[in-house]
Structure 1
Amino acid sequence: MTDATSRNRTGLINATVANSDAIDLGQLFSSLWKGKWLIALTTAIGIAAGVFTIANTDPTFQADALLQLEERTGSLALPSGLSDMLENDPRSVTEIEILRSRMVLGQAVADQNLDWRIEPRKVPIIGTLLSRYSLPFVEGLLPAQYIRPDEIITLEQLVVPPIWLNTEIEITILDAENFRLALPDGRSVSGHVGEQLTMEDVGFSITIGAVEAATGRVFAIQQLDDIRAVNSLRESLTVSERGRGSGILEVRLNDASRPQAARALNAIIQAYTRQNVSRSAAEAESSLVFIREQLPIAERALREAEAALNDFRQTQGTVDLSLETQTILEQITRIEGELASLQRNEDELRQRYNPAHPTYRALLDERTRLETRLAELRGQVGALPETQRQVLDLSRAVELAQRIYTELLTRSQEVEVLRASTIGNVRIIDNATSQPNAIAPRKAMILALSLMLGGMIGAGLVLLRNWLRKGIQDSSELEKLGLPVFATINYNKMADTGTRRQGKLPILAVEETADLTVEALRSLRTSLHFGMLDAKTPTLCITSAHPEAGKSFVALNLAVVSAQAGQRVCLVDADMRQGQLRRHFEMPRNQPGLAEVISGNVAIEDAMVRGAVDGLSFLPSGRYPPNPSELLMRAEFSRLVAWCAENFDLTIFDTPPALAVTDPVIVARNTGTTVFVARHDVTHLGEIEASIKTFSAANLNLSGAILNGFDPKKARGRYGYGYGYRYDYKTRKQ
């Protein structure tokens, strides 16, 4: 039984937590929905900012090209047998770095004058927008110096002294054929379009090829130094390999001008291919020089080997080699020839690689293998007769020298052909071409981000506003301040009509007698009946801390439900500043009321009018006087309160907000009970505390409070009267 009880309690706790989470989520969506116009506004502002960003950003175009890295067919360093044993070296990374080097980019900068900069003067902040789109309504407002759409100048030649590098030179267009320069040294000179302007004293020269701009437009030109120009070009250049090990390089370049992007990229590619061809020719030339140095040495060694063999045969007579000895001789000769070739290759490799390079290590491994085999063959030679050994050694020397000399001749011819061909190992597959559409700004992405950020900022502002508001949430917070709560009145949209509605204002207790809010007002009537038993008079002052707390709504409908219960009730509009209760009774603005009664201009019986239900009398505020506080302090007001106490079972005074004026304190001093109205989720605790202090300073106490406008959807997971009323309502509907 104990376990079952424990499980039941656990289930209740879990259900409560889940319900709380659901209410919190509902409150979140409710808060966002109430702030939908703020969210819509920030979203619209975000979209507008995104559109402005797109329109106020210069487009960026991209040019692309494809290169193929081919294998080196005329290898100068290794024989074909050894090349087959080695794996191909990854060259893409090396070539990419060469393509991005200052050697290549600097040549492209020089070929296409990419170190020249021409910038038109633009309006601050919105200059790009105005330079891209024609806006007639701002044309007359812009100074003549600022650029308009489709206005450019063409620079054909520019030479500046070193001291003027990276320095702007201002050009002002005088007319279609003339311009004026403002030089960095403070001088101003004029020039003609299409003619070279030279200043030999400073080493400056410029030629403006064409002008397509109106008079007064201003442009700034400058020439960058080599480092800045190369770095700027490198930042806009991207190189990547298509597929791993494919040897296909994709080259891209971004630029604000579509034609300029293609021209600059083509210049880079041409500079890269030229250096590649030059590098191949240089390698061939280096190898050819080495071979030419070795040919005389090899020829002399061959002649000496042949002479030594002939001398030995003449001395010893004709000596023939046996078949076995001949075989050994051929093997030794072949291996020694390969070793000699490896030695030459090693000499060349030593100029390009260090001993730790894979190609170099493979060559050393091959040489070790050949030397081991050669040692074995020489051991076999040692077992031959003396004469045979000598003949074998001399014959071997001749064949080895002959092979070396022949190979050098062959290699010399190959390198001559390779040098003459001047063909590199890079092939251009696709020349540089600019894409027709700009790659930036990315309109769809910017608009999507603007939409999201605008909505998120709006939602954040709504939630921040709700968090900063910290309005009162339930009756327990009022009770902690020492105010007993007479009733909690549910929210009703009719209470918010106020002065926004034209004509007669409705009375909820008359039109919706079965509404939950009216039920709460009846509960308030009962609570006040017992709460006012010890009051000196059956008079009630109702006030609040701020406008729109619903005090007039509470006073009016409380008076109606009290009269419906058979009491004689008098409702007095004591707000002689902005009182609007008369509109619920279809009374004109100049209807005599409280102000005239206190002034002695109208008798109280004449100013009192019949209310909306039997037993209800109403005294409007009257014409708004210039001194309402002074009127309330007169003895006539005290006599009016006493008269109402004698003639009615309940008199309700609707007063202005306590933190705004002193009228509620004056009224409360003459009435038997004072009730404070706090609006759920609107009235701050600080405002309630300030109101309590205001009455305490006058030696008055608030008798209690009413929590008005309670919305269960905003209750932040708390349970209260709202839940009970919903339950009663559902029961009644059944």
Structure 2
Amino acid sequence: MTSDSKNLSKSTSESNNDVDLLALVFSILRGWKTILFFALLGLLIGVLYSRYETTTFKSDALIQIEATSGGVSALGSSISELVPPEASPAETEAQLIKSRMVLKPVVDFLNLSIRLSDPTVSAIDKIRTNRSYTQENLPESVLLATSDGTAQISQFDVSEDYLDKSFTLVRSGTGFTLTNELDTFKGQLNTSHRFNGTRGFIEINVSDLPVGDHPINISKQSLQNTTDGINGALTVSEVGANTGILQLSMIGSNQDQISRVLRQVILSYMDQNSSRGSEETTRTIKFMETQIPDLKQKLEDSEATFNTFRTENSTIDIGQEASILLAENARIDSQLSELRLKKADLSTYYTEEHPLVIQIDDQIAELQSRVQSVNTRIEDLPEIQREFLQLSEDVSINREIYLNLLKNYQQLKIVRAGQVGFARIIDLPINTYRAIAPKRSLIIFIAALTGLLLGIMAVILKNMLRNVVKDPERLESRTGVPVVATVPRSPLLTRLNKGSKSPSRLLAHTDSNSLSYEAIKSLRTSLMFGMPKEGRAGQRAKVILITGESPGVGKSFISSNLSEVFAQLNKKVLIIDADMRLGELHKAFNMSQDNGLADYFQQDGHALVDIVHPTSLDNVDFIPRGKQPHNPASLLSGDKFSALMTELNAHYDYIIIDTPPVLAASDAMIISQYADKVLMVTRYDKSIEGQLVYAVKQLNKANVQVDGIVLNDVKQGLTSKYSYHYNYAYGNDK
């Protein structure tokens, strides 16, 4: 293959791709009515949904979580060691906020487990009014506004079997009626009642109800379902990374309600947090309160014993060595006392096997060993000095331990008084009354866009399934038959023929300057030059057979107008309506169907002159279909029709025969043996491409060659120019 041929092949391939894409675009644009319908339908659904959807509001708050409590450590290292620090990560606190420990007090305080609803509000009502009433939970009662008044419930408690079960409340005079599937109870307004039902007790106090017979649905939710509902609307997340600031957000259909609930959630959490923050300090103070009386008594006993000894033996001067031993022994005993105190404190948290407890035990053992060594050295002192030293040491140690513990006790009491926990409220929720959902403009836009896309998909799917006739080149490639003419639609003729009873009109009388009329003339020219130069033996006329693959393609329109343009050449033209079943060609000439082709076959007395009728057009005669016979195909196969065609050929230059559709009857195959040209008429954007291909194959199987395809009723709109670029007519289109 040469370089030029390669380039030509590549160019042709790219051109075909462009044409296919352009054909797809135009096929979509031709279905603009379907696309517009789906777009408007989507728009309508979007508007209705935006009105049906309940308006949603949002309320926000901020809490700061500190890493540690600074109260104990600020008092010195000695006391802070007694209260171990506690870490409080923000993520952990976020989970605690959503726990039942925090939410249960909120549920109880605001009566959130009581649920009220109005069963009379339907989806149509929500769309029509574009609003919905929602309940409000207050500490003293639960409210629900309706179109007939307000329902107010001050108390509603039920047994476990009635949890999450729906009841119906209706006003009855000055009282109310409470019903469910099994029970019916009556009571008075503003009065506490306790009813014993089939499944347990019911305690209720109704303050107000809507007037009339307006029902109210009421139920008592379980704690789990209520907290799940709160958590479904509550979001707790840390602002940024490791900031320690928690953002609490709650959404709902009532701005006041969600702000009220969120505020109580924060206050409940702060109460829990405050009590958790002082728990360690309180536990240590309680332990010290149990030790102080014992240490005080021990100090008093040691002082009394020492004073008695000094009175009996007078004052003894202790030498330098004894002083050193005394100081060392006192220091060791002080350390032992502190270690024992720490061990006692740790024992409240850990077992004896804990590493911290084992470490303190090792230190105590080491100090006890040193005490034994010092005591051995003291034994070498005189007896009175040794006893004096021992009593003096006991008094000193007991005084130091007692005073140290008393000081720490007072410090911890000060700490507990000023301890506020490790959480701090930054922002409490406020009412903004700014709706966050639904975003009506976005919903309407998405709905309309979705409808538009569905419309495009429907048009594409319709084209794929129907595969109607549109592209002449495609027809030629699939059938092997050339498209000899594309006849545009005549807008004027279309408007005139809109009435169902109006007769079909000829273009020469109604729209002679149109492109449609010029296309018929172009078809005439094509047929004239395509006719064989020598006709059939002994025949003068050129016979043109016109058929179609199915009814409604415009055979009669093409036949009648083609006969008129041939007559303009001063040629004798005969047009025959060979569709003896449903032929309507007589309407185009404003004539009767009687005394036609079928009558010629059925009545022996009918001669040629009886069935051939002149028309209002010069040089044009017409044979109507006649009275419908029972066996049209058999009549056309007989010798009588052959004789008729032989006789007619001697009198006319052109004979145009309009036959039934190929897929509906076999008449066209029978008559084709007398034809010089066989034309297949198909209708643009209506005929099915597969039916046309099948009709051509059926004729080919009967050894009938189709000489050309006439593409009729081609639309000339912007979206149809692609399929109409094969024909150009020159005329005065005014």
Q: TM-score, normalised by structure 2?
A: 0.73
Q: Deviations over 1:658-709 (max 9, x none)?
A: 4456765676577665433344665435423654687699x68454441525
Instruction: Rate the CA distance shift 1:110–1:190 in 2: closer, same or farther, 3 A.
Output: same
2:614 is aligned with 1:608:
yes
**RMSD (Å), alpha carbons:** 5.6
Q: Deviations over 1:559-604 (max 9, x none)?
A: 45544566433334555777666776xx547587847975869955
Q: Residue 433 of structure 1: SS of its match in structure 2?
A: coil
Partner of 2:218: 221
Matches within 5 A, 1:552-567: 552-560=556-564, 562-563=566-567, 567=571
Task: Report if the CA contact (8 A) 2:535-2:542 is conserved.
Answer: yes
Structure-1 separation of matches of 2:452 and 2:397: 87
Matches within 5 A, 1:272-421: 272-295=269-292, 317-319=318-320, 350=350, 405-420=402-417
Give how far 1:283 is off: 2.9
Q: Residue 270 of structure 2: SS of its match in structure 1?
A: helix
Structure-1 separation of matches of 2:634 and 2:496: 29
Partner of 1:653: 657
Partner of 1:113: 111
Task: Report if the CA contact (8 A) 1:90-1:245 is conserved.
Answer: no
Moved more, 398-407 or 56-65: 398-407
Partner of 1:454: 451
Give how far 1:212 is off: 3.0
Instruction: Rate the CA distance shift 1:118–1:315 in 2: closer, same or farther, 3 A.
Output: same
Partner of 1:141: none
Q: Deviations over 1:413-435 (max 9, x none)?
A: 23323444573333333333343
Task: Report if the CA contact (8 A) 1:568-1:649 is conserved.
Answer: yes
Partner of 1:429: 426
Instruction: Rate the CA distance shift 1:561–1:230 in 2: closer, same or farther, 3 A.
Output: same
Structure-1 separation of matches of 2:422 and 2:204: 40
Matches within 5 A, 1:5-44: 6=3, 11-12=7-8, 14-44=10-40
Q: Which amino acid aligns with 1:607?
A: H
Task: Report if the CA contact (8 A) 2:96-2:102 is conserved.
Answer: yes
Task: Report if the CA contact (8 A) 2:489-2:712 is conserved.
Answer: no
Task: Report if the CA contact (8 A) 1:44-1:454 is conserved.
Answer: yes
Q: Which amino acid aligns with 2:116?
A: I
Partner of 2:194: 198
Instruction: Rate the CA distance shift 1:722–1:451 in 2: closer, same or farther, 3 A.
Output: closer
Q: Deviations over 1:156-205 (max 9, x none)?
A: 22122222221111234456x444332332x3333343334432464223
Partner of 2:55: 59
Matches within 5 A, 1:462-611: 462-471=459-468, 485-490=481-486, 492-494=488-490, 498=494, 501=497, 504=505, 506=507, 511-512=514-515, 519=522, 522-529=525-532, 538-560=542-564, 562-563=566-567, 567-574=571-578, 587-588=589-590, 594=596, 598=600, 603=609, 607-611=613-617
Give how far 1:97 is off: 0.8
2:251 is aligned with 1:245:
no
Task: Report if the CA contact (8 A) 1:489-1:521 is conserved.
Answer: no
Task: Report if the CA contact (8 A) 2:238-2:244 is conserved.
Answer: yes
Structure-2 separation of matches of 1:393 and 1:451: 100
Task: Report if the CA contact (8 A) 1:180-1:188 is conserved.
Answer: yes
Instruction: Rate the CA distance shift 1:249–1:652 in 2: closer, same or farther, 3 A.
Output: same
Q: Residue 647 of structure 1: SS of its match in structure 2?
A: coil
Q: Deviations over 1:81-118 (max 9, x none)?
A: 9989x999452111111110011122211221211122
Q: Which amino acid aligns with 2:254?
A: S
Q: Residue 436 of structure 1: SS of its match in structure 2?
A: coil
Q: Which amino acid aligns with 2:186?
A: S
Give how far 1:458 is off: 0.4
Structure-1 separation of matches of 2:236 and 2:678: 82
Structure-2 separation of matches of 1:711 and 1:588: 26
Give how far 1:331 is off: 11
Give how far 1:273 is off: 2.0
Q: Residue 676 of structure 1: SS of its match in structure 2?
A: strand
Give how far 1:121 is off: 1.6
Instruction: Rate the CA distance shift 1:81–1:679 in 2: closer, same or farther, 3 A.
Output: farther
Partner of 2:257: 260
Instruction: Rate the CA distance shift 1:491–1:465 in 2: closer, same or farther, 3 A.
Output: farther
Structure-2 separation of matches of 1:258 and 1:535: 100
Give how far 1:291 is off: 2.8
Q: Residue 115 of structure 2: SS of its match in structure 1?
A: strand
Structure-2 separation of matches of 1:277 and 1:269: 12
Q: TM-score, normalised by structure 1?
A: 0.73
Task: Report if the CA contact (8 A) 1:573-1:621 is conserved.
Answer: yes
Instruction: Rate the CA distance shift 1:466–1:108 in 2: closer, same or farther, 3 A.
Output: same
Q: Deviations over 1:268-302 (max 9, x none)?
A: 22322222223234333212123334546766898
Structure-1 separation of matches of 2:240 and 2:125: 43
Q: Deviations over 1:45-69 (max 9, x none)?
A: 1111111112222333333333233
Partner of 1:49: 45
Moved more, 523-532 or 393-402: 393-402
Q: Deviations over 1:442-465 (max 9, x none)?
A: 312211220111111001000100
Moved more, 156-165 or 545-554: 545-554
Instruction: Rate the CA distance shift 1:10–1:203 in 2: closer, same or farther, 3 A.
Output: same
Instruction: Rate the CA distance shift 1:487–1:554 in 2: closer, same or farther, 3 A.
Output: farther
Moved more, 94-103 or 597-606: 597-606
Q: Residue 657 of structure 1: SS of its match in structure 2?
A: coil
Q: Which amino acid aligns with 1:60?
A: T
Give how far 1:120 is off: 1.9
Bigger Rg, structure 1 or 2? 2
List gaps (5 residues or longer) in structure 2. 133-144, 310-314
Moved more, 240-249 or 10-19: 10-19
Give how far 1:27 is off: 2.0
Moved more, 551-560 or 259-268: 551-560
Q: Which amino acid aligns with 2:228?
A: N
Moved more, 273-282 or 298-307: 298-307
Partner of 1:708: 711
Structure-1 separation of matches of 2:149 and 2:533: 87
Partner of 1:211: 209
Q: Which amino acid aligns with 1:608?
A: P
Q: Which amino acid aligns with 1:262?
A: S
- How many residue pairs align between the two structures? 681
Structure-2 separation of matches of 1:436 and 1:450: 26
Instruction: Rate the CA distance shift 1:293–1:191 in 2: closer, same or farther, 3 A.
Output: closer
Structure-2 separation of matches of 1:688 and 1:298: 116
Structure-2 separation of matches of 1:722 and 1:397: 122
Structure-2 separation of matches of 1:395 and 1:527: 146
Structure-1 separation of matches of 2:80 and 2:529: 108
Q: Residue 320 of structure 2: SS of its match in structure 1?
A: coil
Structure-2 separation of matches of 1:499 and 1:580: 20
Task: Report if the CA contact (8 A) 1:571-1:653 is conserved.
Answer: yes
2:95 is aligned with 1:97:
yes
Partner of 1:170: 168
Structure-1 separation of matches of 2:29 and 2:108: 62
Instruction: Rate the CA distance shift 1:512–1:103 in 2: closer, same or farther, 3 A.
Output: closer
Task: Report if the CA contact (8 A) 2:597-2:624 is conserved.
Answer: yes
Structure-2 separation of matches of 1:535 and 1:301: 155
Q: Which amino acid aligns with 2:542?
A: P
Q: Residue 63 of structure 1: SS of its match in structure 2?
A: strand
Q: Residue 648 of structure 1: SS of its match in structure 2?
A: coil
